Amino acid sequence: MAASFTLYQSFAELCADGTFDLDSNTFKVSLHTSSHTPSASGDIVFADVDAEVSNANGYTTGGATLGSVTWTRSAGVAKLDAADTVWTASGGSIVARYAILRATGTLNGLVDPLVGYILLDTTPANVTATDGNTLTLIWNASGIVTISIT
């Protein structure tokens, strides 16, 4: 299964105006069903997205907080990275089509502004973690978001 990551268009604007403080924001990633249709140009805050996976079977509504978040800058390249995110299905399956990354809290008047989303399978198809198995987001070794100035 190949996944693709898309930044919301508002992310660049919100970085530029200081809404995001990538050094100190807390980030969460949530799972969403195929009933959701992401809009890279229209979605800005978490309230703009729908069809989150139900609170059951090892998934908690609101998603998982990213661990070990780092924001590094060196030689014109800045990188946001974190530890891989893992959900373990318990009592049933976790079924998702999208993962949505956001900052949490009210930032510059925006509640839970969005960073980007992942289409978990580019077929596209649902991704299923059956009971006792894991659904793991392995963040790119080059970082979740990399900004390069040349």
The CB-based long-range contact list for 41-46 (8 Å cut-off, 24+ gap) reads 41/9, 43/8, 43/10, 43/114, 44/8, 44/10, 44/110, 44/113, 44/114, 45/102, 45/110, 45/111, 45/112, 45/113, 45/114, 46/100, 46/102, 46/111, 46/112, 46/113, 46/114
Mean pLDDT within 78-101: 97
pLDDT at 142: 87
146 vs 48, higher pLDDT: 48
CA distance 67 to 132: 22
pLDDT of 32 over the 60 cut: yes
pLDDT of 95 over the 80 cut: yes
Residue 120 DSSP label: S
pTM for this model (two decimals)? 0.95
85 vs 150, higher pLDDT: 85
